[in-house]
């Protein structure tokens, strides 16, 4: 039970940090909806292959790249969104970077008509920040678990 609470706390911190940074009205975006689902995997089932740092970061980047390409160079239609999503899923599987929350990226990016900078912020920076916060949390929890029990 305590591990579930700790996972929820980690997810809350990660999204809270990104949402706070997003609220500062800088020129950078920090938060996107798929990150909520990413925190479920990274904090809730951290030993899942789908929650590996490689999968989180590269899965988001691969699918976001496809979303940006389609957003900039194809008409936004139901067919183009379907093709972009299918291509994103296939490329994640082929590259062994499958991260299910990233499957939403092409649709999100195409609907919002995002450009190249979206790959940096929020995609890359946000994914890396979530992975780093999860790593820190795992180390802190491991230290507490290693303390002698009274």
Q: Give me the DSSP letters along 33-67.
A: THHHHHHIIIIISTTSGGGSHHHHHHHHHHHHHHH
Q: Are the C-beta atoms of 87 and 105 separated by less than 8 Å?
A: no
pLDDT, tens only, 69-100: 999 999 999 999 999 999 999 999 999 999 99
Residue 67's pLDDT band (cuts 50, 70, 90)? very high
Angle CA 117–26–108, to nearest 5: 45
Tokens for 23? 């609220």
pTM score above 0.85: yes
Range of the domain at 22: 2-146
How many residues make up the chain in this entry?
A: 150
Per-residue model confidence (pLDDT) at position 146: 80
| Domain tally, the chain | 1
88-143 pLDDT, tens digit each: 999 999 999 999 999 999 999 999 999 999 999 999 999 999 999 999 999 998 88
């Amino acid at each position: 039970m305590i591990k579930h609470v700790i996972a929820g706390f980690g997810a809350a911190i990660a999204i809270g940090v990104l949402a706070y940074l997003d609220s500062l009205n800088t020129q950078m975006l920090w938060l996107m909806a798929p990150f909520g689902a990413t925190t479920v995997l990274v904090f809730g089932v951290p030993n899942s292959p789908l929650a590996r740092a490689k999968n989180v970061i590269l899965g988001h980047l691969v699918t976001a790249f496809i979303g940006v390409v389609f957003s900039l160079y194809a008409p936004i239609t139901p067919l183009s969104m379907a093709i972009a999503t299918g291509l994103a899923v296939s490329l994640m599987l082929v590259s062994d970077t499958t991260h299910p929350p990233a499957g939403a990226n092409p649709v999100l990016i195409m609907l919002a008509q995002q450009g190249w900078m979206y790959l940096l912020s929020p995609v890359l920076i946000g994914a890396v920040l979530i992975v780093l916060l999860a790593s820190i949390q795992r180390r802190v929890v491991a230290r507490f678990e290693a303390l002698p029990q009274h």
